[in-house]
Structure 1
Amino acid sequence: MSLRYSTVFLAVISAFSLHASEQDIEHISVKGDFRQHNLQQVAGSVAVLTEQDMQRQSAQHLDDALQQFANVNFAAGASRGRFIQIRGIGERSEFIDVINPSVGILIDGIDYAGLGISSIAHPEQLEIFRGPEATRFGTNALAGMVNLTSKNPTFTPEGKLSASVANYDSWQLSGYHSAPVADNVAYSLTLDKQKSDGFIDNAHLNRDDTNNIDEFTGRFKLQYLATEQLQLGLTAHVIDQQNGYDAFSLDRNRITLSDEPGKDILRSDALALNLAYQGLSIADITAQLSYLNADSDYGFDEDWSFRGIAPGWEYSYQDRYLRQREQWTLDYRFVSKPAGQLFGHTDWVLGMYASQRDLGLQRLRRAEDEQRMFASELARRNLSVYGETQTALTEQLRLVVGGRVEQYQDDYADVAGIMLDSDKTLWGAKVSLNYQLNPQALLYGLVSRGYKVGGINGEALSKAAEEEFAILTTKARFAPESVINAEFGVKGSTADGRLTTRVAAFYMWRQDMQVKGWINPDLGPEFAGFIDNAASGRNYGVEMETRLQVNEQLNVYVNAGYLQSRLGQYVTDSGIDLTGRDQAHAPRVNYSVGADWLLTEQLSLQAGVQGKSRFYYSDGHNAESSGSELVNLRVSYQLPQWELALWVRNALDQDVGVRGFYFGNDPRDEYAPHVYEQFGEPRRIGITASYNF
């Protein structure tokens, strides 16, 4: 019996031996669903990290936290990891063409898809929904959703301050505070500042800070209890990111030769108004109206070198992308009063979602001494209605049926005078059967359908008039993608609560899957990217999360994922037949193993190993990463209000690829093709002091 089937079989057998009372269930509430259910009673593969979980691995950014999730990966190509893959599905970059991410990002309910998460300091919790979640989240959740909730206001004053210093001239200062300002008004404020020289040495400029980190994040929440039935809320976010970007080396290491290092700048402001009303007899009303404005400036030294490196062969290009984004979103829903578990009773949700997103792009490219400019605008309007019912067929068996219908309209225009529009209606659905064997054991089976919108290949259109790129006239648009997911899962805990486990097995059918293609006619510096549709794809596997309290002093955590992915019929424009190959950024195995060991009442040790197998970097070539194992250690000393911790991440100092390309870019070897990689952080050593008040 194979590993994946053995794991599921053992989990099912163990579930039938679980017996305990409800109070022994692990009490982690999933905040991103329609209703806040206990994690062990949610039908679907959802993983949650609390602030304590992130502290265990000394996580300072989303990149660090994502290493702990089964069947989750990410790609950088910027100063931070910005593009997320779940179960092998997800984008790896965004240049000219506007992409709709397969994995969305919500922070306090505000849509940050494509922008990433700048700080995870002092969160309420971080949730990963794996598998299509169209009913709940719409087009941004083809593969899943990342949901970050910041600290909620409390009516009992509380706060925490943390300060960290680490190698590479790094430091972080963060804190949060929550308190009432009146009997019915409370606030929470979270602030975080991080700075680092980064992990790159630029030998040409004799600098060690060309890939630096300089980020500030502020999140504020205000809660107003207007009446016993009406609660109002205000959320405000500020992000100011002034990072450098100088990550790729011609020598394929951490030493660069660029004379014009890039940058990765983001300024984002967001505001949300929330309403919750429980005064109706049959349903509660929840609503959120949000606004986000973001300006980014992302660029890089395209030749990765300097003038004079190889006279007669060299070229000197610089690429820069300035983006503006303004969006409004409204999510308004009715959630029925709980009907209970009696036979025939049905809980239901009915909602409406609308969004308006205006995106502007200016690409400024210097080719030798020639300045080139491309500009485009895209206005996207989304309108959807959704609903879900949960019917108690018996006291233990529930049927869940949900669906969403979404209509989107795109209006595109660019400096070349090209004007296109697109108007499509898409749909998603979910049907699950959930059997609550006892208060601590759930078995479920579900089928769900997800989707994401198509779009327009602006870069292809801008170059199609050039003779060598004439083939791009056939690449003006790319079609929507859909996926069907079949899943079986088991969740359970032992009678004494010492063992908690969750296992899910899944099989996903992708149709018209969107893949990134490139055309480089003469293998020189002129190339063009576009999004294409492969015929189909298959993604299947298993994921497991287990927590075991061995004794009063020792806790052990094991998360593991096994993934098989296949491209359908697909031949690249350069003639490479990738039919049947693994999909990009889809490692077959990944895992996170950790332990908390209480050595004394004050002294504790946390240790973890996070690993993944090798994976392909792209759906356009066969370059692969190496497998990796990251060893993380943390020793902490706890006093009533103070904590002092010494920590090490990537203790073995492995070079871990987080983005990769295969082409020629080195004039010193006449542009022979190589695998060029951006590496994640090397060995990090730091000290953190925290004060609770």
Structure 2
Amino acid sequence: MFMKTQLKKTAPTIMLTALAGLTINPVFADFRMEEIVITAQKRDSSVSDTPIAITAISADQMRELGIASQQDVANFTPSMQYQEAAGGSEENRIYLRGIGRETNSLGTEPGVGVYVNGFYSNEAGALTGSSDRIDRVEILRGPQGTLFGRNTTGGAINVVSKKPGQEIENVARVNVGSYSHEKWELTSSGPITDNVGYLVHYTQNDRDSFFDNVSGPDQIGISSDYTEVMFDIDFSDRINWNIRYATSSFEDESLELGLLKGYDYHNGVDALSRYGPQVMNAEAFSPLAIQPAENDPFDISSEYRGKVAADDTTDIQSTLTIDLDAFSIRIMNSDYDLDWYGEKDFDGTAGPVTRFEKIGQTEQNNQHEIQFVSNGEGDLDWIVGLFYFSIENVQPYTLSESSNPYLINNVQGPIVGTPAPRFNPEGIFYFQQGELDATSQAIYTQFDWRATDRLTLSAGLRYSEDEKEAYEEQDILFDSVLDFCDESLFSGLVAGGDPYADIPGCLREGYFVSEGDDEFEETWYAFNWRLNATYDITDDSMVYATVSTGSKPGGFRLGGLQNDPSTPENEAVIDNEELTAYELGYKGFLGEDFSFSSAIYYYDYSDIQVELDIIDPVSGLSQLKLTNASETEVYGFEIESSWNLTDKLSLLGNYSYMKSEYKDDFFAFDLKTDTERNVKGNELNRTPNDKFSLSSYYVQPFDSGDIVFTLSYSYISDQYTSIYNDSIEQIDSYEVVNTRLSWQPASGGYEISIYGRNLTDELSYANRYSVSGQRDGVRASGRPIDPETYGMEVAVFF
């Protein structure tokens, strides 16, 4: 379906040829892939000893394998998918084994929980950061509803920061590359006294846009800065306090998705009442004959430089650990503040009709947790915890046509009721706002009993309550010419090139179609449990079997006014998602050089929260509605391996197969066909059947230092972005190849690297992809993944 570069077919050849070349010329050095220590079960353990399907990526691996974005993390991780509409974590959505989120609207929740040092976060941007301040990223697949709890139906991702070391370590790192990329990092870490350690980090990151604007100035690219300060204090041998303060800001480009199929010229009307807002169609007045993305996915036409930005986001984390004889007490507190906003050219072309989208989000949340963790002695390990999370969030959203004098001046309405002329200086034709106050409380426990020298039995339980209080409001306006005038007259407007010309004999003014507000207060309850049996076949291998449950709290899609007051039920409120998971796994070492893990799983998934198109009975507009779908199932298997092929060459490889299906009847209105359709038998969104990645790490030693060469390859098969599973809604399979070559001198004083990412310049719309309705020509829109880039990095250690 999508245009592919000619180099695409050569990606497997590049990878296999490089690996073959390395294997033919072995030179020996002492290199082993590291065994990463994780905290997936709230206590230290190795990946190979933890009976969970886990991908753990160390900071060094992220740097050397070219894992620099959330999309890279997803490509490297079995059964993981990611999408983002633009920079600045706009519409960031993570999927694990087909479970994620379908909307970022206020009042909804993700299906994969992101945690930073054990603290819950709403932002996927936490997955990536400097390798000098991040120790590792742990991706736990499968429901983690007992120990992690909040929104971990599909799994949990824990980002772990580095802690101060025993010696002073300073690192200055400079990265320059394609598209005027400049990244400056400075990190200092070490002891202040025998009992106090520190870590200070600063990053400044700037890059020009990948996109060329054929109608005006290019987009702003990305610009961000990040500062982190950490203190680690030992008050005694038994009491430790770790406190972390981070602040960041960014101003990144924000782009409407590129149209992949021409302009729409239907009489100058943008989306008649059944299909969207009734305002002038900007595309019909475009000075360009061809939509630029048709020829080049990185070309746009815009008169406005949109952006997404956040000012002075702050994150404070405090963890106090008290070690007693029988157990430890861990007291965790955090405070997070975010002020985020975005604005973009909504019509996707330059011309006399100028429409803008503006969205904002003001968020403040607090987390408090206390854990009691046994000391690991004896045959019984246990953990008990109390959890509290609160959040206040406001999210306004507007669409405006600032050049339309009829929307700006003397707006009438509402249509039904007393006319009330009002001033609308921004030319807003759609406005919604949601306000949310929510709290989540939970108590949880897990017991691990070593029944024999080789058999361990585990049981976990979590009870949680999620309470949400919400307010929403919505206004919809029309340009009255679209209702009161003959549509045949619009062709004259288009021919004359003036969308706001007077039409003799036709009343033209702005008016309100509908306006209203609503408020809700609901509480959702959940019991989640986990049963596990782990058997050590040998000292280096084990098998495990797990049955577990997970849930995602219900909520509302605030701003849509979806409750029908004429019915006894509240259509705006949705139920919990519920999941029961069955998993069998194996982890083991074959000698000292080969590690292997695998998992097979089956999910019974009910009340999945999906976003559907509906027709508003008052305005006749197409709007989005959040609802619970019918029963679904997901099953598959995963393989991860690490092989020290020689003393110089190591390989990392993983493969995942996934299959999903709506099992029962579920009817939804499809704007593409203008009919209601049954999606029974279709796949869930973002569930590619096959994923494969292979990475090589090669070291060539010299007396003066080492040359390190890494090469990684990822393949992701076809996936759908809509529950209707039509071919036009399919993202084709794609491949990504990254490489890095480094010189590491024996003195250890510096490191020089050159790198290339997406070497075959692969084109895919995995970042974001959607299809419009029938009246709009059933057109695809998308945002491609990053193109081919190159760069150099210099690090100085002192």
Match of 1:544 among 626, 629, 639: 639
Q: 1:19 maps to which residue?
A: none
Quick check: 2:572–2:626 contact (8 Å CA) kept in 1?
A: no
- Give yes or no for the alignment of 1:452 onto 2:462: no
Letter in 2 for 1:332: I
Q: Does 1:501 align with 2:596?
A: yes
1:622-643 deviations in Å (ceiling 9; x for gaps): 3011111111121111113221
Shift of 1:620: 5.7
Q: Which residue of 2 aligns with 1:62?
A: 70
Distance, in Å, in 2 between the alignment partners of 1:436 and 1:74 is 35
Q: Does 1:323 align with 2:323?
A: no
1:214/1:93 CA distance change after superposition, 3 Å: farther
CA deviation after TM superposition for structure 1 residue 464, in Å: 6.7
TM-score in terms of structure 1 length:
0.89
1:197 and 2:242 are equivalent in the alignment: no
Q: What is the aligned counterpart of 2:234 among 225, 246, 253? A: 225
1:43 is paired with a residue whose SS is coil
In structure 2, distance between residues paired with 1:85 and 1:671: 29
Is 1:528 equivalent to 2:632 in the alignment?
A: no
Alignment-mate amino acid for residue 463 of structure 2:
V
Other-structure match for 1:675: 780
How far did 1:644 drift?
1.1
Write the distance in 2 (CA, Å) between the matches of 1:644 and 1:26: 22
For 1:115 and 1:649, locate their aligned partners in 2 and report how far apart those are by CA, in whole Å: 21
Q: Of 565, 571, 581, which residue of structure 1 is paired with 2:682?
A: 581
Partner of 2:657: 562
Distance 1:324 1:396, change over 3 A: same
- Deviation string for 1:462-491 (max 9, x for gaps)? 6979xxxx9999731111101111000100
2:376 is aligned to 338
**Which residue identity lines up with residue 719 of structure 2 in the other structure?**
F
Indicate the residue corresponding to 2:258 in structure 1. 249
* 1:124-148 deviation per Cα after TM superposition (whole angstroms, max 9, x unaligned): 0011010100001113211011111
Please give the alpha-carbon distance, in whole angstroms, between the structure 2 residues aligned to 1:337 and 1:58.
38
Indicate the residue corresponding to 1:153 in structure 2. Answer: 164
Structure 2: segments with no counterpart, 5+ residues? 1-31, 260-290, 408-426, 474-515, 671-675
Could you say what secondary structure the match of 2:38 adopts? coil
Equivalents in 1 of 2:538, 2:201: separation in Å?
Answer: 39
Partner of 1:512: 607
**Contact kept in structure 1, 2:563 and 2:571, CA below 8 Å:** no
Of 206, 212, 215, the residue aligned with 2:224 is: 215
Which residue type is aligned with residue 362 of structure 2?
Answer: Q
SS of the residue corresponding to residue 116 of structure 1 reads helix
Q: Which residue of 2 aligns with 1:636?
A: 742
Asked whether 1:594 is paired with 2:602, we answer no
Shift of 1:92: 4.3
What is the CA RMSD across the aligned residues, in angstroms?
A: 2.4
Deviation at 1:154, TM superposition (A): 1.6
- State how far apart, in whole Å, the 1-side matches of 2:662 and 2:354 are: 36
Secondary structure at 2:37 match in 1: coil
Q: Which amino acid aligns with 2:253?
A: G
Shift of 1:439: 2.1
Are positions 1:51 and 2:59 aligned together?
Answer: yes
User: Contact 2:708–2:741 (CA<8 Å) still a contact in 1?
Assistant: yes
Give, in whole Å, the separation in 1 of the partners of 2:649 and 2:620.
56
- Which residue number in structure 1 is paired with residue 384 of structure 2? 350
The correspondence for 1:306, drawn from 333, 350, 373, is 350
Are the equivalent residues in 2 in contact too, given 1:248–1:256 (CA < 8 A)?
A: no
1:72-87 to 2 correspondences below 5 Å: 72-79=80-87, 82-87=92-97
Which stretch shows the higher mean deviation, 452-461 or 245-254?
245-254
Quick check: 1:507–1:538 contact (8 Å CA) kept in 2? yes
Match of 2:585 in 1: 489
Q: How many residues get paired?
A: 646
**CA shift digits 1:433-488 (9 cap, x unpaired):** 001122211110001100010111323316979xxxx9999731111101111000
Alignment of 1:135-154 (within 5 A): 135-154=146-165
- Check the 8 A contact 2:103/2:611 in 1, yes or no: no
SS at match of 2:720: coil
2:758 to 645, 650, 659: 650
Is the CA contact (8 Å cut-off) linking 1:58 and 1:634 kept in structure 2?
Answer: yes
Tell me the distance in 1 between the aligned counterparts of 2:597 and 2:779.
Answer: 42
**Distance in 1 between residues matched to 2:569 and 2:208, nearest whole Å:** 44
- SS of the equivalent of 1:682 reads coil
Taking a change above 3 Å as real, the CA distance of residues 419 and 146 of structure 1, as seen in their structure-2 partners, is same
Task: Determine whether 1:424 maps to 2:434.
Answer: no
Residues 280-316 of structure 1: CA deviation (Å, up to 9, x unaligned)? x3211011111101111023322212334xxxxxx64
Aligned partners of 2:172 and 2:187 also within 8 Å: yes
1:261 Cα deviation after fit: 3.9
Q: Is the contact made by 2:683 and 2:725 (CA closer than 8 Å) also made in structure 1?
A: no
Q: Percent of counterpart pairs with the same letter?
A: 19
Shift of the 527–464 alpha-carbon distance from structure 1 to 2, 3 Å rule, reads farther
Identify unmatched segments of 5+ residues in structure 1. Answer: 1-23, 309-314
Task: Indicate if the aligned counterparts of 2:33 and 2:650 stay in contact, CA closer than 8 A.
Answer: no
1:609, 1:438 → 2: CA distance?
A: 33
Where does residue 433 of structure 1 map in the other structure?
A: 533
Tell whether the 8 Å contact from 1:517 to 1:620 is kept in structure 2 after alignment.
no
Identify which of 702, 705, 709 aligns with 1:605. Answer: 709
Shift of residue 586, structure 1, vs aligned partner:
1.1
TM-score by length of 2: 0.78
CA distance in 2, matches of 1:262, 1:209: 7
Distance 1:190 1:655 in 2: 35
Aligned counterparts of 2:666 and 2:64: Cα–Cα separation in 1: 43
8 Å Cα contact 1:264-1:297 kept in structure 2: yes
- Shift, 1:241, TM fit: 1.5
Q: Per the alignment, do residues 27 and 457 of structure 1 end up closer, same or farther by CA in structure 2, a change over 3 Å counting? A: closer
* Structure 1 residue 525, shift from structure 2 partner: 11
Greater Rg over alpha carbons, structure: 2
> Quick one: distance in 2 between partners of 1:620 and 1:298?
30
Cα 1:503–1:118 shift into 2, 3 Å: closer
Pick from 439, 444, 465 the counterpart of residue 407 of structure 1: 465
Amino acid at match of 2:723: D
Distance 2:569 2:323 in 1: 55
Q: CA deviation at 1:383?
A: 0.9
1:556–1:594 Cα contact (<8 Å) kept: yes
Q: 1:360 aligns with which of 394, 407, 410?
A: 394
Structure-2 residue corresponding to 1:478: 574
Shift of 1:227: 0.9
Are 1:124 and 2:135 counterparts? Answer: yes
Give the aligned partner of residue 89 of structure 1. Answer: 99
SS of the aligned residue for 2:560 comes to helix
C-alpha deviation, 1:58, in angstroms: 2.2
CA deviation vs aligned residue, 1:563-592 (integer Å, no higher than 9, x gap) = 111123322123132211111111111111
Whole-Å separation in 2 of the counterparts to 1:167 and 1:457: 40
What letter is aligned with 2:340?
Answer: S
CA gap 1:471/1:559 in 2 versus in 1, 3 angstroms: farther
